[in-house]
Amino acid sequence: MARVGLLTGGGDCPGLNAVIRAAVRRGLADGGHSFVGFRYGWAGLLEDDALELTLESTAGILPRGGTILGTSRTNPFAKGRDGLGKIRRTLESRGVDALIPIGGEDTLGAALRLHSEGIPVVGVPKTIDNDLAGTDMTFGFQTAVQIVTDAVDRLHTTAESHNRVIVVEVMGRHAGWIATHAGIAGGADAILVPERPFDIEEVCARLRRRHERGRSFSIVVVAEGATPREGTLQTREGTATDAFGHARLGGIGTLLEREIESHTGYETRVTILGHVQRGGTPVAFDRVLATRFGVAAMDAIAAGRFGTMVALRGTEIIEVDLEEALREPKLLDPALYETAELFFG
């Protein structure tokens, strides 16, 4: 019987608690596995900060947003940290046989490195951005799409009342999955995504055509990672980065607000949805996916299939090679974007 360590790393995501609950329930049902939860991502392993996960301590958490373990963007392999040594010592002193890190590219990247050092891991993919390869979908994504769609519906009525253009900035660092899904669901008039650098003149021409046809308002959904086509617009790069060296994004919506208003003369406002997209209770789809991932991760541990990541392929839960899954981000399907474009302008 194994003693299993769990941790949640990176940005939080609705459904994390459902994964924790499911892994624990599966392990207990199997007879005798025990669980320890490390607090605040890799920081919990570095600092030996942990709590026992039991039937009681994981009861009632299925619909709760956030993570009972806390999370952080701590990079265990940051210079001068002796991360590997500290993690080995914590695992040994707590008698942990295998780890289930629940996270995105950075958390799972660290997990892969531990696997290559002989520490048994099974990853669970997590990101509201839905940009992890190897899985058709990550939990949290559907919740984020629903939150953005609700916001776009609300922004529609105020945009229409005031004859305004409203720019809605949403999450999506490398990929425009949230922007495109919510943009289609909410009937956006333009969707700007990281995969397709935009030309401000083209965006404005589209809005003008729409307004010339008698519409007096427009909704533009922009992913935070969207960029202008080279040489077209000057963006201001922020300097803040996280422990993995990623720039803190945000600001493209504000730039668009200014540029659209000055190019078209239409009154324009920006709404930055930010972390509201990650907060609160997961929608039913994400609860189910997270539960299936938690159960599958425990099954992989019990069977000794390490260095893997559980994933959704079609309607099936499968295991994929962790290294393979992390090679490239999963970018937007061009066919999906073309469908969205049919409704622009």
Q: Which residues are known to be catalytic?
A: 129
Site string for ligand F6P, 11-50 (x = CB under 6 A): x---------------------------------------
Q: Report how many helices (DSSP H) and strands (DSSP E) the chain contains, helices first.
A: 11, 11
Alpha carbons 104 and 75: distance in angstroms, whole number: 13
What angle (nearest 5°) sits at the alpha carbon of residue 228, between those of residues 225 and 231? 140
Residue with nearest beta carbon to ligand F6P: 11
Alpha carbons 51 and 67: distance in angstroms, whole number: 13
Say how many Å lie between the first and final Cα of the chain, rounded.
60
Residue 112 phi/psi, 5-degree rounding, is: -65, -40
> Is residue 66 near ligand F6P by the rule CB under 6 A?
no
Give the residue with the Cβ less far from ligand F6P, 14 or 120: 14
- Name residues contacting ligand F6P, limited to 173-202 (CB under 6 A): 173
* Choices 82-90, 111-119, 124-132, 154-162; region in contact with ligand F6P by CB under 6 A: 124-132
User: Is residue 90 a contact partner of residue 134, using CB atoms and an 8 Å limit?
Assistant: no
Q: According to CB under 6 A, which one of 22, 38, 43, 129 is a site residue for ligand F6P?
A: 129
Give the residue with the Cβ less far from ligand F6P, 102 or 298: 102
Alpha carbons 181 and 164: distance in angstroms, whole number: 23
> Is residue 249 near ligand F6P by the rule CB under 6 A?
yes
> Is residue 101 near ligand F6P by the rule CB under 6 A?
no
* Choices 21-29, 123-131, 214-222, 319-327; region in contact with ligand F6P by CB under 6 A: 123-131
> Is residue 104 near ligand F6P by the rule CB under 6 A?
yes
User: Is residue 157 a contact partner of residue 186, using CB atoms and an 8 Å limit?
Assistant: no
Q: According to CB under 6 A, which one of 71, 72, 127, 268 is a site residue for ligand F6P?
A: 127
Tell which phi-psi region holds residue 12, choosing left (phi > 0), alpha (psi between -120 and 50) or beta: beta
Would you tell me which residues interact with ligand F6P (CB under 6 A)?
A: 10-11, 104, 127-129, 171-173, 224, 242, 249, 278
